[in-house]
Amino acid sequence: MANENANGNQHTVTRSPPPPSPLRFSKFFQSNMRILVTGGAGFIGSHLVDKLMENEKNEVIVVDNYFTGSKDNLKKWIGHPRFELIRHDVTETLLVEVDRIYHLACPASPIFYKYNPVKTIKTNVIGTLNMLGLAKRVGARILLTSTSEVYGDPLEHPQKEEYWGNVNPIGVRSCYDEGKRVAETLMFDYHRQHGIEIRIARIFNTYGPRMNIDDGRVVSNFIAQAIRDEPLTVQAPGTQTRSFCYVSDMVDGLIRLMEGEHTGPINIGNPGEFTMMELAENVKELINPEVSVKIVENTPDDPRQRKPNITKAKELLGWEPKITLREGLPFMEEDFRQRLGVPKKQIN
Ligand SMILES: NC(=O)c1ccc[n+]([C@@H]2O[C@H](COP(=O)([O-])OP(=O)(O)OC[C@H]3O[C@@H](n4cnc5c(N)ncnc54)[C@H](O)[C@@H]3O)[C@@H](O)[C@H]2O)c1
Ligand SMILES: O=C(O)[C@H]1O[C@H](OP(=O)(O)OP(=O)(O)OC[C@H]2O[C@@H](n3ccc(=O)[nH]c3=O)[C@H](O)[C@@H]2O)[C@H](O)[C@@H](O)[C@@H]1O
């Protein structure tokens, strides 16, 4: 068996994959697909769970250690007969019987992934090894949520999947970006050596309702600051760019990748590119025109530009994002206002 990689090369697979569970082909309704979502109590994970639970043939198991996620994000499913929530750290082995593994468990906000960098590396390396071991034992297909951070501070713009990146291996972000790079390597080695069915998504900055209010990422920071009448903290120089994808588009892309025929890596993101100053101006205009913008010190190794080339996602998955930044920000504002208990001011 052979599979195409992002460069169009063939990866030779030496063994056939383990046989999947007979349930996948069961004639009579039980649950056709038993799906594990690691990190399912987090921001993207909980939206993914909502979408997967819409299909009554899916049974969903979430494992999460609640480091950055919360049971609150899943409260509508707790007690549902097709849903199970397990407090578990992916750095420990896990024995469950499943057909699909969406492997998201990993803190994503720089503040949180830098808080305990050794634990972040363990989560990416040991956590991914454990999930691959599980996939191998039960013959499950596994999808890894990798990141645009594997491109580091990119010297190529926009970033195509073929680009190998410009990553500092010893910097304060390395626990995350190098951790994800090793996780991708492990995925391909298990694929080549053991025939595991793999999928790799390279996710670009995603935002939406349910992000932690004090998550520290830029969109959640600006929205919370605008609602609280606090200055928007643009980290210097403010000309650095990001491309922001709304969470429902992201979930749609991840499911298409999982159920499609291509291993990836495939970029999933919205190519609309903004400087941080432009983002601040959009938030100001849409949410609170009276708020000020303050330039503050940046953190080391902050990538200067980031924009996905999504040709592969379009051609191979028939996917492209639908929601623009200016359409998505108000949905997030509504969620943040509700959680902060601050209604929108009436403008006369
Ligand atoms: N949101 C983005 O912009 C973005 C971009 C690129 C990649 N990603 C990737 O997508 C995934 C989800 O990101 P998110 O934005 O939802 O972040 P998040 O922090 O909201 O969710 C991560 C979840 O993983 C859990 N977790 C962390 N370490 C764990 C461990 N050792 N064992 C079990 N659970 C653990 C957390 O408690 C949390 O519920 C991550 O893998 C992240 O690297 C996200
Ligand atoms: O999409 C990705 O691949 C990665 O993107 C983000 O990393 P980053 O882009 O650095 O995310 P933010 O912390 O939101 O920072 C974005 C930009 O906003 C700036 N920023 C951040 C916070 C703030 O208050 N003000 C501000 O100007 C930062 O300097 C940076 O240039 C995520 O945190 C990672 O989990 C994810 O893997």
As for ligand 1, residues whose beta carbon falls within 6 Å of it are: 39, 41-45, 64-69, 89-91, 104-108, 123, 127, 145, 147, 203, 205-206
Q: What is the pLDDT, as a whole number, of residue 25?
A: 66
Cβ of residue 181 lying under 6 Å from some atom of ligand 2? no
Cβ of residue 305 lying under 6 Å from some atom of ligand 2? no
Q: What is the mean pLDDT of residues 226-245?
A: 96
Tell me the HSE value of 16 on the side-chain side, using a 13 A CA sphere.
2
Which ligand is closest in space to the CA of residue 226?
A: 2
For residue 159, the CA-to-ligand 1 centroid distance in Å is 22
Among residues 86, 106, 109, the alpha carbon closest in space to that of 96 is found at 86
Encode pLDDT of 137-162 as tens digits.
Answer: 999 999 999 999 999 999 999 999 99
Q: What is the pLDDT, as a whole number, of residue 8?
A: 43
Q: Which residues are catalytic?
A: 176
Encode pLDDT of 256-303 as tens digits.
Answer: 999 999 999 999 999 999 999 999 999 999 999 999 999 999 988 889
For residue 5, the CA-to-ligand 1 centroid distance in Å is 25
DSSP 123-134: HHHHHHHHHHHH
For residue 331, the CA-to-ligand 1 centroid distance in Å is 21
Q: What is the pLDDT, as a whole number, of residue 345?
A: 76
Q: What is the pLDDT, as a whole number, of residue 7?
A: 44
H or E element: which one contains 252? helix 247-259
Among residues 218, 213, 243, 211, the alpha carbon closest in space to that of 232 is found at 218
Cβ of residue 241 lying under 6 Å from some atom of ligand 2? no
3-state secondary structure of 325: helix
Task: Tell me the residue length of the chain.
Answer: 348
Q: What is the pLDDT, as a whole number, of residue 301?
A: 87
**Percent residues over pLDDT 90 in the chain:** 86
Residues 6 or more apart whose Cβ sits within 8 Å of residue 79: none
- Alpha-carbon Rg of the chain, whole angstroms? 20
Among residues 118, 253, 128, the alpha carbon closest in space to that of 187 is found at 128
**pTM score, two decimals?**
0.93
Distance CA 343, CA 348 (A): 15
Cβ of residue 233 lying under 6 Å from some atom of ligand 2? yes
Cβ of residue 220 lying under 6 Å from some atom of ligand 2? no
Encode pLDDT of 328-342 as tens digits.
Answer: 999 999 999 999 999
For residue 217, the CA-to-ligand 2 centroid distance in Å is 5
Judged on CB neighbours under 10 Å (0-12, 13-18, 19+), 35 is buried
CB 149 within 8 A of CB 120: no
Distance CA 216, CA 68 (A): 11
Distance CA 192, CA 17 (A): 10
For residue 190, the CA-to-ligand 1 centroid distance in Å is 22
Q: How crowded is residue 96: how many other Cβ atoms within 10 Å of its Cβ?
A: 16
**Residue 2: is its pLDDT beyond 60?**
no
Distances (CA, A) of 55 to 58, 59, 71, 328: 6, 9, 21, 25
Encode pLDDT of 79-137 as tens digits.
Answer: 999 999 999 999 999 999 999 999 999 999 999 999 999 999 999 999 999 999 999 99
Q: Which of 88, 93, 106, 268 to mutate to test the pocket of ligand 1 (most atoms within 8 A of CB)?
A: 106
**Residue 13: is its pLDDT beyond 80?**
no
ipTM of the complex: 0.97
**Residue 325: is its pLDDT beyond 80?**
yes
Q: Give the pLDDT band of residue 6 (cuts 50, 70, 90).
A: very low
Q: What is the pLDDT, as a whole number, of residue 1?
A: 40
Residues 6 or more apart whose Cβ sits within 8 Å of residue 17: 1, 139, 194, 195, 196, 197
Encode pLDDT of 51-81 as tens digits.
Answer: 999 999 999 999 999 999 999 999 999 999 9
Which ligand is closest in space to the CA of residue 250?
A: 1
Tell which atom from ligand 2 comes closest to the C-alpha of 111.
Answer: 13
Rounded mean pLDDT of the chain?
92
CB 283 within 8 A of CB 329: yes
- 111 or 11, greater pLDDT: 111
Q: What is the mean pLDDT of residues 299-315?
A: 94
Tell which atom from ligand 1 comes closest to the C-alpha of 180.
Answer: 43
Q: What is the pLDDT, as a whole number, of residue 3?
A: 46
Q: Give the pLDDT band of residue 28 (cuts 50, 70, 90).
A: low
For residue 12, report the phi and psi dihedrals to the nearest 5 degrees: -80, 130
Q: Give the pLDDT band of residue 32 (cuts 50, 70, 90).
A: confident
Encode pLDDT of 199-234 as tens digits.
Answer: 999 999 999 999 999 989 999 999 999 999 999 999
